[in-house]
Amino acid sequence: MAVRFFGQFLLENGAINAEQLLAALSYQEKMNLKFGDTAIHLDLLDKDKLAKIFSRQRSEDLKTGEAAIKLGFMTQAQVDQVLRAQKNSHVMIGEALVKTGALSDAQLSEQLQAFKKDQDAYQFSSGLPRQKDSTGLAAPAVDLAMKLLMRLASLPVKLLDLRYSLTEARGVTTYTARVAFTGDHEGEIALRASDRLCAQIASAMLGEPVAPDAKSAILDATCEFLNVVGGNLAAVGARQGKKVELSTPRSGDVPTEGRNIIVARLGTPDGDIEFIFVVGEASKPYGR
């Protein structure tokens, strides 16, 4: 069970095959106009201006809407108009599968119901204040970490509190597992807990006992746990139109300077786990 793209849910369950999904994705690509083409269609840009936007994007990491505003070709209101038009005319993957003959309307309806049931477990309900979550990713990250700790490590966890700085762990031996992410935002997710608790997570993941001093096995298992959280977070990000790619963190400690930090303290019967979300850059709300 994971946060999934509907097409992958169908593929994994054998409702469609890889060729059918590729055909539907290709249909979607043809039908769903990109930001620039939509803006031209709405007479808000012309081809010359779009070429200048592309040229600017080669030297600066900007989305098309951002570049159009920077170059004075569009106003924020016009960018919003294009984004709304893109959203309203968007062909969803289910519709594309029906149009390309992979599913009937009745099959689509049945599969959508099954998909909704599958994904209900991943509806997010974190108590993280919105103003503290500038990227919109921290709340789902905390929630995913809690759900996956219960699911993968069989640990009953409870959110004790949220903190906005990282303090040094004292008194007990701890392990810190980390996974970095890039894309529309750059940052890290990390998990810090006592050696005993980390060994418990690793044991549950591996299905065999792991001693608290088996550092390599513990870090591998807890990093894999974070990879699963991160991968599912990428799927949540994709639903919000955000690109999240996982990568290897830089060596050293969790970076904190110039970053927004959220530490969710999760209580378990065997001690607390700190789930750490660190992010640098601010949100980029414009379409590519």
Partner 1 sequence: MAETRTVLVVDDSATIAKQLSKILEESGRYKVVGHSRDGLEALKAFQSSPPDLVCMDVVMPNLDGVQTLRMIRQIKPDARVVMISSVGGVADKLAECLKAGATNVISKPFDSAKVLQVLDSV
Closer to partner 1 by CB, 129 or 207: give it: 207
Residue 48 or 61: which CB sits closer to partner 1?
61
Residue 73 or 225 with smaller CB distance to partner 1? 225
Question: Least distance in Å: CB of 210 to partner 1?
Answer: 10
Scanning the chain, the segments in alpha helix (DSSP H) are 6-12, 18-31, 35-41, 47-59, 64-70, 76-88, 93-99, 105-119, 138-153, 195-206, 215-239
Q: How many Cβ atoms are within 10 Å of 112's Cβ, its own excluded?
A: 16
Residue labelled with tokens 């081809």: 47
Which C-beta is closer to partner 1: that of 33 or that of 40? Answer: 33
The span from the CA of 196 to the CA of 174, in Å, is 8
**By C-beta, is 157 or 162 nearer to partner 1?**
157
Cβ atoms of residues 271 and 197 within 8 Å: yes
Instruction: State in angstroms the smallest separation of the CB of 278 from partner 1.
Output: 19
| Separation of alpha carbons 158 and 41, rounded Å | 50
Least distance (Å) between residue 202 CB and partner 1: 7
Do 271 and 193 contact (CB within 8 A), yes or no? yes
**At its nearest, how many Å lie between partner 1 and the CB of residue 146?**
14
In the complex, minimum distance from the CB of residue 5 to partner 1, in angstroms, rounded to a whole number: 5
* Alpha-carbon gap, residue 103 to 111, rounded angstroms: 10
CB-side exposure of 41: number of CA atoms within 13 Å? 13
Least Å from the CB of residue 264 to partner 1: 20
Nearer to partner 1, 2 or 159 (CB): 2
> Which positions lie near partner 1, rule CB under 8 A?
1-5, 7-8, 11-14, 18, 21-22, 25, 93, 148, 151-152, 202, 205-208, 217, 220-221, 223-224, 227-228, 230-232, 234-238, 244, 246-248
Q: Residue 54 corresponds to which tokens in the numbers above?
A: 């592309």
For the beta sheet containing 271-279, the strands, ordered from the edge strand earlier in sequence to the opposite edge, are: 158-163, 260-268, 271-279, 187-194, 174-183, 244-247
Closest contact distance (angstroms) between CB of 39 and partner 1 is 22
Phi, psi of 121 (to 5 degrees): -65, -15
Q: Which residues contact 16 (CB under 8 A, 6 or more apart)?
A: 7, 10, 24, 97, 102, 103
Give the nearer residue to partner 1 in terms of CB position, either 230 or 255. Answer: 230
